[in-house]
Amino acid sequence: MFEHMKNYGLLMAKVARVLRPGGKLFVHIFAHKDSPYHFEEGWMSTHFFTGGTMLSSDLLLYFQQDLKIQKQWWLSGTNYEKTLNVSIEGPRTRCNRCSPELRQRNC
């Protein structure tokens, strides 16, 4: 849930303190290819990442005082997009079985 954090230097220091000696941290984040930004308004900030930040792919490289990045890779997100589309469309195809209140809100 690094997308909901703000002070990455302090976060990495705290994580480093609780890891066993030689322990490792795997971070999976949603990231923008070039530029970090805060979710301040719009659908994402209202329904999904309230108060969150879209990290840039290189942001954690600037916070290696306590933990060192050994390997980093980038995935395009197209598979995640397909997963989200299926999760959205599945319930919509079954809306006729929902109560009127749910249909009005979600379909």
Give the tens place of pLDDT for each residue, 19-30: 999 999 999 888
**84 and 35, same structural domain?**
no
- pLDDT of residue 91 exceeding 70, the answer is no
Let me know whether 22 and 64 are in one domain: yes
In the chain, what percentage of residues exceed pLDDT 90?
A: 33
Interatomic CA distance for residues 91 and 80, integer angstroms: 18
Return the SS3 of 99: coil
Question: 60 and 82 in one domain?
Answer: no
Side-chain-side CA neighbours of 22 within 13 Å: the count stands at 0
Range of the domain at 87: 76-107
Specify the pLDDT at position 63.
95
Residue 106's pLDDT is 61
The pLDDT of residue 72 is above 70: yes
Measured CA angle at 74 (ends 78, 12), to 5 deg: 125
State the amino acid at position 58 in one-letter form: D
| Cβ contact 36:59 at 8 Å | yes
Q: Is the pLDDT of residue 35 over 80?
A: yes
